[in-house]
Amino acid sequence: MGSKANEMTPLATQIMRECIRLQKASGMTVADFAKACGFSRDYWYKHANLSRPLNIGDLERISQVTGISPGDIVMNSQRHAVEATERKAQAGGYGLAAYREDGKQEAINGEAGPDYDEPA
């Protein structure tokens, strides 16, 4: 796979975003949440800024503080990521680049290219 131990992979990013969501939902300040989890503020900020991935022990500590199992944190992170993607798609945020350029839609519709329906 070629990834480094402290690299933020897509899954690590997704899980960390869920943990940030849980911290905000807890009503605790960042400092209070970090302390409740047994983290220093600096340690939590490095993770919350998506510069370092959580380890399993970190996830267990967050689980104890939030009352949500590590497995549910991971599964909820997936669900929230899918929901965010669906919202973006519904808002028109995922269009093909070719559709965004002037004149490209006509080319895609076949108006600017060869007509394959007619014999040569």
User: How far apart are the C-alpha atoms of 102 and 21, rounded to whole Å?
Assistant: 39
The residues spanned by each domain of the chain are: 10-100
Q: Specify the pLDDT at position 81.
A: 85
Report pLDDT for 7: 84
**One-letter amino acid identity for 27?**
G
Give the class (CATH, top level) of 10-100: mainly alpha
CA distances from 120 to 23, 51, 97, 117 (A): 65, 58, 31, 9
Q: How many CA atoms lie within 13 A of 51 on its CB side?
A: 6
Q: What is the mean pLDDT of each run of 10 residues along the chain (120 residues)?
A: 72 93 94 96 91 93 96 92 82 60 60 58
pLDDT of residue 108: 59
64 residue type, one letter: Q
63, 102 in Cβ contact below 8 A?
no
Looking at this protein, which amino acid is placed at residue 115?
D
Q: Do the beta carbons of residue 15 and residue 74 sit within 8 Å? A: yes
- What is residue 111's predicted lDDT score, i.e. its pLDDT? 56
Side chain identity, residue 34: A
